Amino acid sequence: MKRDLYDTEHEDFRAMARAFVAKEVTPYLASWEAAGEVDRSLYRAAGAAGLLGLGVEEEYGGSGVDDFRFHAVLNEELCRAGATSVSMNLNGFTDLIAPYFRELATPEQKARWLPGLADGSLVAAIAMTEPGAGSDLRGIRTRAERHADGYLLNGAKTFISNGVIADLVVVVARTGAEDGREGLSLFVVERGMPGFERGRRLHKLGLSAQDTAELSFTDVPVPAANLLGEEGRGMEYLKRNLPQERVSVAVTAAATMRRVLDGTIAYTRDRIVFGRPLSELQTTRFTLAELATDTEIAQTFTDRCVRELVAGRLTPTEAAMAKWWVTERQQQLVSRCLQLHGGYGYMTEYSIARDFVDTRASTLFAGTTEIMKEIIGRSLVR
């Protein structure tokens, strides 16, 4: 089915992104997976190619073009190459972290951090999840108390993407709000600050090239100049930016569905069973027909959400719908495609086996399927 989401400039960008992935990602993907993290040179190469400054003002080293469709193209090209974990590194910054710097940072903060983030000399992460607080951000216990000319930060975070290599970490912490209620605030914690420690590198089921870590903060002195936005408005900021993150996850899931389906169709044509191609069995064709239909519907809905996001009309409910539905269909598709590969699907030398473990996290991060349904359900009955 023909897509009409992209213009000529986006397709030109796609050609550049595809060439970048072929040169700077594909040859090193296996070694990054073995190491448990990408090499920092990836960020410098991406910065030099203009892939990290998407939406960042030109004066700070970015493209100056705020159009999420460019983000989606990069995401699709990384997924097309089977580099989902690398997509989480690069698009994790452009889709999840950069908006906080662009929208909340003061001119002084932008001049201090954005050029390095855009050229890849600095790597960023965001720390929301805690051992006792995942999708429900109201359970956050990390706290920042006023102290001298700044704050003392105490607490622990877990499941932090890029937690090992990050130079800057946007930490979500509790602060005392003026009305007596505890609110959330965002702080930029920098590598080397006293009391900021990186704990275990967490070993995940999949997404091996994307490092995930535990972080701890013990009386970390955070200057007031590192407060991002206004104190106590953190929940508002998080709610504002989470829809884009969730659409980004849907883009990843839909692109992965397309690649896995195409690869499985090719496999069934080549695989001979009972003296004929696997694709000639009616049960195989029926399965592929169902999966192709799921893929088209997922892509169509995702594209619509991208359009709404670009136009500034996407609602949190629509983003939640895309996030849970597309990722659940992605997991079903990958599982059924693995079944069509038979025993070979269980061998890690086949990409379908790696996809099977890589896609399992998609219904968990950026809010679980259950939380997405709760968001949608509340919008229907309130």
Q: Under a CB-based contact definition with an 8 Å cutoff, are residues 61 and 119 in contact?
A: yes
Task: Give me the residues paired with residue 144 across strands.
Answer: 153
Beta-carbon count within 10 A of 237 CB:
21
Largest CA distance in the chain: 79
Query: Catalytic: 108?
Result: no
CB-side neighbour CA atoms (13 Å) of 129: 17
Give the pair of three-digit tokens for residue 364: 């968990």
CA distance 30 to 36: 10
CA distance 364 to 362: 5
Return all residues near 191 (Cβ < 8 A) that are at least 6 apart.
166, 167, 168
Q: Which is catalytic among the residues 24, 33, 214, 245?
A: 245
CA distance 229 to 344: 51
Which phi and psi angles does 322 have, rounded to 5°?
A: -65, -45
Task: Give me the residues paired with residue 221 across strands.
Answer: 152
Which phi and psi angles does 188 have, rounded to 5°?
A: -95, 110
CA distance 32 to 26: 10
Give the residue from 230, 136, 240 showing the smallest Cα distance to 187: 230
Which residue numbers are catalytic? 245
